[in-house]
Structure 1
Amino acid sequence: MDVLTKEQRRKNMQNIKATDTKIEIILRKALWKKGYRYRKNYNKLPGTPDIVLPKYKIAIFCDGEFFHGKNWNILKKKLENSNNSEFWINKIERNRKRDDEINKRLFFEGWTVIRFWGEEIKKHTEECVKVVEETIFDQNIVE
């Protein structure tokens, strides 16, 4: 494992984007190709979902594994032994709590929330699209 200097790490962290990330673009292109029209980074909803299908009231979030704490118990143990561990543990725990609150608010407002992990989108894009399509299909049955 390469050990980065503080300056290298700082530069890497500054280059992490909040919108139009690689995983968002992959999923958006796949949805567009299937004929689904959406809004991106929709700031009229809580949490500014990455992709919104207004016609179906579906809000999609493309979450990075690190910042949103995938396998949190394992990641937390690794972070406890790292530099600036208190900062990172607090940050990721706040992100996880905020994600949960946003899910609840959107659900309360009548939206369906779908969250995908970045690796899931990269490695299994078609399956992610199928999840969206099944959600739309399920809604149409209910209506």
Structure 2
Amino acid sequence: MQAIKSRDTKPERLIRRLLHAQGLRYRVAAKPLPELRRTADIVFRPTKVAVFIDGCYWHGCPEHYVPPKTNKGYWSGKVAGNIARDRDTDRHLAEAGWEVLRFWEHESPDECASTVLRVVTKRREALLHGQFGSHE
């Protein structure tokens, strides 16, 4: 499992490149909430937007996940644990006022970047107009 990349995957790099080209600046592989031991792939702290680009196998994509053929109990349990942790992360971040965006690795980088840009811009506007605080 050491060879499995937890950051800087090809889908992440493509989406980050598109976001950077749009003028967005962000943190990479950062903890949105310091007290929560979870790392988002892309974090926009001022607007409280956390972006996750989930791998189809490791996060149980309903479209592409193929159950393991060997050591089924271990690997299926591991993927189920990842899915449960993802939902728990979403809940914690939402409770803290964060917008969580999750994309599958097979989704179009252009569409993902477009969604991120739209959400960050909208929340930036709301922040400028005092519609939500940065310390909620």
Partner of 1:15: 3
Q: State TM-score, norm by structure 2.
A: 0.82
Q: Work out which of the residue numbers 100, 110, 116 in structure 2 matches 1:132.
A: 116
- Aligned-residue offset at 1:126: 1.5
Whole-angstrom CA distance in 2 between matches of 1:21 and 1:95: 18
Give the number of aligned pairs: 124
**Percent identity for Structure 1 against Structure 2:** 35
Query: Which runs of 5 or more structure 2 residues have no equivalent in the other structure?
Result: 132-136
Q: Work out which of the residue numbers 41, 44, 52 in structure 1 matches 2:43.
A: 52
Query: Which runs of 5 or more structure 1 residues have no equivalent in the other structure?
Result: 1-12
Larger Rg: 1
CA RMSD of aligned residues (A): 2.0
Q: Does 1:119 align with 2:117?
A: no
Q: Work out which of the residue numbers 26, 48, 52 in structure 2 matches 1:38.
A: 26
- Runs of at least 4 residues of structure 1 off by over 3 A? none
Q: State TM-score, norm by structure 1.
A: 0.78
